[in-house]
Amino acid sequence: MTLAEQNITQPSIEPLDQPRSIFARRSDFIELAKVKITRMVIITAYIGYGFANDAGISNAQWYAKLFIMLLGVALACMSASVLNQLYEIDTDQLMDRTKKRPLPTSRISKTEALIFGLALGVLGIALLSLFTNAAAALLCLFTIVSYVLIYTPLKRISPVALLVGAIPGAMPPVIGYAAGLEGSGFTVFNNTGWAAWIIFGIMFVWQVPHFLALAWMYRDDYAKANMPMLPVIDPDGSRTFMQILIGCITLVPLGLLPTMIGISGLAYFFAALICGLIFLYYGYKVVRFPSRQHARTLFLASLVYLPVVLLFMLIDKM
Ligand code: HEM
Ligand SMILES: CC(C)=CCC/C(C)=C/CC/C(C)=C/COP(=O)(O)OP(=O)(O)O
C-alpha cells in the first residue's frame, strides 16, 4: 500500500462519535459512586470500630484491620449508590437535581453501571469476610440489599421509605463495631454491643431532619418524578416540619445517652449538647420561618453535626 492509499484508508483522527474510554470517563464513575456520602459513611464506620474491643490483636493488626474494614465499607457503600442510581434512571431523568447524573445522561451505560456496582459490592463484602469477620460481612450485605432492594423501590410508593432507608443508613457504625470484635463478631448483638446500637440510634434519628430539609427544598422536583416524599403529599408542610422538629428534639437527649450509660465522658457530653442545641435551633428556624435558605442551612448543619459529635465520642471514649 502506498503512503497516499494509507492516508485514505486509515484516517489519522478518530471519528467524533467514538465511545469515550472508561479512563476518560473516570470522573463520571466517581460521581456515580457518590464519594462524599461514602466519606461520611466511613467516618461513622470508623467510630463504631473504635468502640469495639478485640483484645487478642497487636496495635499493627488493629490498624491493618481498620484499613481493610474502611476499604470494604467504602466499596460496599459505593456499590449501593451505583445500584440505587441504576434503578432510578427514569425518575432521575425527571428531576432537575438528578437529571445531569451519569446514567440519565448516558455518559455511563446501564451495563457498565451494573458491572461496576456488582464488582464494588463483591469486592467490599469479600474484603470484610476474608479480613474482618462474618458478622461485619453479613451486616454489610444486609445494608446493601435493604438499601437497593427495599428502600429504593419503596421510595416510589410511600414516604415511609425514609424510615426504612434510615435502617441501612445507620448500619455503618454497627458494621465497624462488629469488625472490631474478636471471633465471628456476632457479640455485637449481645448486651456488650450497646455502644454500636446507640450510635445506630443517633444516626437513625439524624437522617430525619437531614433528609426532610432537603426533600422540602426539592419537593417540586420529587412531585415531577411522582415520588411521594412527605413534603410532596403534605403541601402545607405541617407534617414535614413537625417531623423535622421531633427529629431535632429527640437528637438532643439521644446524643447525651453515651455519657449517661458511661461509654463517653463529659467533654463528649458538652459537645453533643452544644451541637444538638445548635442543630435544634436550625430545625426550629426552618419550622418557624420556612424558606429554601433555612432548609439548606439545616441540611448543611446536619453534615457538620454528625462527624463532629461522633469524633468527640471517639476522642472522649471511656
Ligand atoms: C434515608 C436515609 C438518607 C436519605 C434519604 C438521604 C438523602 C440524601 C439526598 C437526597 C442527598 C442529596 C444528594 C445529591 O444531591 O446528590 C443527600 C446528601 C448527602 N447525604 Fe444523605 N441521605 C440519607 C442518609 C445519609 C447517610 C446515612 C449519610 C452518611 C452517613 C448521608 C450523607 C450525606 C452527605 C455527606 C450528603 C452530601 C453529598 C454532597 O454534598 O454531594 N446521608 N442525602
Ligand atoms: C456500607 C454501606 C452499604 C453503606 C450504605 C449506607 C447508605 C445506605 C447510605 C445511603 C445514603 C443515601 C445517599 C441515601 C439517599 O438515597 P436516595 O436514593 O434517596 O438519594 P438520591 O435521590 O440522591 O439518589
Instruction: Enumerate the domain spans of the chain.
Output: 26-189, 191-318
For 26-189, CATH number out of 3.20.20.70, 1.10.357.10, 1.10.357.140, 3.40.50.300 equals 1.10.357.140
Q: What is the pLDDT of residue 18?
A: 65
Atom of ligand 1 nearest to the CA of 303: 35
Cα angle, residue 77 at apex, residues 72 and 81 outer, rounded to 5°: 150
Q: Whose CA is nearest to atom 40 of ligand 1?
A: 36
Q: Whose CA is nearest to atom 23 of ligand 2?
A: 98
Q: How far apart are CA 205 and CA 185, in angstroms?
A: 25
For residue 285, CA distances in Å to 179, 230, 280, 298 come to: 40, 19, 9, 9
For 191-318, CATH number out of 1.20.120, 1.10.3300, 1.10.10, 1.10.3470 equals 1.20.120
17 band by pLDDT with thresholds 50, 70 and 90: low
Atom of ligand 2 nearest to the CA of 155: 19
With a cut of 70, say whether residue 203 has pLDDT above it. yes
Average pLDDT over residues 225-240: 96
Atom of ligand 2 nearest to the CA of 73: 1
With a cut of 60, say whether residue 8 has pLDDT above it. no
Cell numbers found for residue 32: 456515580
Q: What is the pLDDT of residue 11?
A: 46
* CA 21 to centroid of ligand 2, rounded, Å: 28
Residues 33-53 pLDDT 10s:
999 999 999 999 999 999 998
Q: Is the pTM of this model over 0.90?
A: yes
With a cut of 50, say whether residue 262 has pLDDT above it. yes
Atom of ligand 2 nearest to the CA of 147: 8
147 lines ligand 2 (CB under 6 A): yes
The CA dihedral of 63, 69, 75, 78, to the nearest 10 degrees, is: -100
Query: Which ligand neighbours the alpha carbon of 147 most closely?
Result: 2
Q: What is the pLDDT of residue 52?
A: 95
172 lines ligand 2 (CB under 6 A): yes
91 lines ligand 2 (CB under 6 A): no
| Percent of all residues in the chain with a pLDDT value above 90, rounded to a whole number | 92
Pocket mutation for ligand 2, best pick of 32, 39, 81, 227 (most atoms within 8 Å of C-beta)? 81
Q: Whose CA is nearest to atom 2 of ligand 2?
A: 77
Q: What are phi and psi of 274, to 5 degrees?
A: -65, -50
Do 26-189 and 191-318 show the same overall fold?
A: no
Cα angle, residue 244 at apex, residues 238 and 248 outer, rounded to 5°: 145
Identify the residues whose C-beta falls under 6 Å from ligand 1: 36-37, 40-41, 44, 97, 162, 165-166, 169, 207, 210-211, 214, 303
Atom of ligand 2 nearest to the CA of 146: 8
